[in-house]
Amino acid sequence: MFRFWYGVASLTVESQQAIWLRLLKLNAGGPNARKEANLMVSEKMAAAKSATKRLMLGASPNSVVQSYRKKVRANVRRLSK
């Protein structure tokens, strides 16, 4: 149980970092901001669909959180460049 809550807490911190970096990119404006906004919406829709499907097929909540963390960390790396 501790592992799940640690994952949720880590996801919270990592998500805030991704949000901050995305806001900086969106604030800059231009075509890159529009591209980022579109990417953000499509990623969120795909992630929600994937999580729902995995949970319906019996995946553990912890595995879903870990999957989200992996995607969020990839976004932080991409946005940090």
Measure the CA–CA gap between 13 and 54, rounded to whole angstroms. Answer: 23
Nearest Cα residue to 70 out of 4, 14, 1: 14
Q: Which two tokens stand for residue 73?
A: 């960390």
Q: What is the pTM of this model?
A: 0.91
Residue 68 has pLDDT above 90, yes or no: yes
Residue 70 has pLDDT above 90, yes or no: yes
The CA angle 41-15-10, to the nearest 5 degrees, is 145
pLDDT-derived band at 63, boundaries 50, 70, 90: very high
Residue-wise pLDDT for 19-55, tens only, equals 999 999 999 999 999 999 999 999 999 999 999 999 9
Q: Where are the domains of the chain?
A: 2-80
